[in-house]
Amino acid sequence: ETGVTQTPRHLVMGMTNKKSLKCEQHLGHNAMYWYKQSAKKPLELMFVYNFKEQTENNSVPSRFSPECPNSSHLFLHLHTLQPEDSALYLCASSQGQAVYGYTFGSGTRLTVV
Amino acid sequence: AQKVTQAQTEISVVEKEDVTLDCVYETRDTTYYLFWYKQPPSGELVFLIRRNSFDEQNEISGRYSWNFQKSTSSFNFTITASQVVDSAVYFCALSEAIQGAQKLVFGQGTRLTINP
C-alpha cells in the first residue's frame, strides 16, 4: 500500500469514449499531480493542484480535463483521445514544498484504440 | 530551463557485479533538490533518496550509494553487489519549487537488468 491509490489499473478505450481516471491519497498531502509516461520519453508533468486549486497546466490538450474536488482526490477526465495518448498515467502527491519528493501511485495503463 | 540527463538508456550486468547509474543535471537555481526513484515492473515509482544542493556528502544505504558532485553537476548512483531484485528502471529527478508545491523534472530513466 503506497498511500496513493489509482483506479483503474488498466483501461482500454475507443477514440470516441469518455472515461475517467481516479487518484486518492490518504497521506494528508496538499499537492497532487498528474504525470504521463510514454514509451522512451521522460515523465511529463501534466497538471499540479495545491489545496485543490490548479497551479500548473503544462500545455495539455483540452481532451484531458482534470478535477480536484478536495485535497485527497484527483480525477483525469478523458474524451476523444488519440492513439498517441496511450501511456502510463501516474498520480502523485506531496506535502507542499517539503521537498521530500513525491509519493506515487501505481499508475493507470491506458490504451486508446 | 531545468534539465536532467541520464545518458545510459539500458544497462545489463551479471548478479553480484557493481553498477553505476549516471545523472547530470542543469539548473540556474542555487537551492535545489535531487532525487532518485526506482520503477519496478509493477509501475509505481519508489523514492530512494533526496539530496539538497548544499550537502555534498556522499551517502550510503546498504548496497546503495550516491555521489553528488556540484562541480560537475552530477548525482550518480551505485549499486554494490547487485541482485536480480534490483532490476528496474531508475530515474533521476531535479526539483523546482512552484506555488505551494514542487515540480520534479525527470531524466529519461535507465533500465537496469541484473542477470542471474
Q: What pLDDT, in 10s, does the model give residues B16-59?
A: 999 999 999 999 888 889 999 999 988 888 989 988 888 888 88
Residues listed for chain B? 116
> How far is the first Cα of chain A from the last one, in angstroms, to the nearest whole number?
31
CB contact under 8 A, A104 and B44: yes
Which candidate from A33, A97, A104 shows the least CB-CB separation from B100? A97
Residue pair A69/A51 in contact (Cβ under 8 Å)? The answer is no
Q: Rounded to whole angstroms, how far apart are CA atoms A108 and A35?
A: 11
Residue pair B111/B10 in contact (Cβ under 8 Å)? The answer is yes
CB contact under 8 A, B100 and A99: no
| B52 vs A contacts (CB less than 8 Å) | 99
pLDDT in tens, B58-67: 888 899 999 9
Residue pair B26/B17 in contact (Cβ under 8 Å)? The answer is no
State the count of interchain CB pairs (< 8 A) between A and B: 81
Chain B residue closest in CA terms to A47: B103
pLDDT for res A27: 92
The b/e string for A71-91 (b: 16+ C-beta within 10 A; e otherwise) is bbebbbebeebeeebbbbbbb
Show pLDDT as tens, one digit a residue, over chain A (113 residues).
459 999 999 999 999 899 999 999 989 998 999 999 998 788 999 999 988 888 888 889 999 999 999 989 999 999 999 999 999 999 999 886 656 778 999 999 999 99
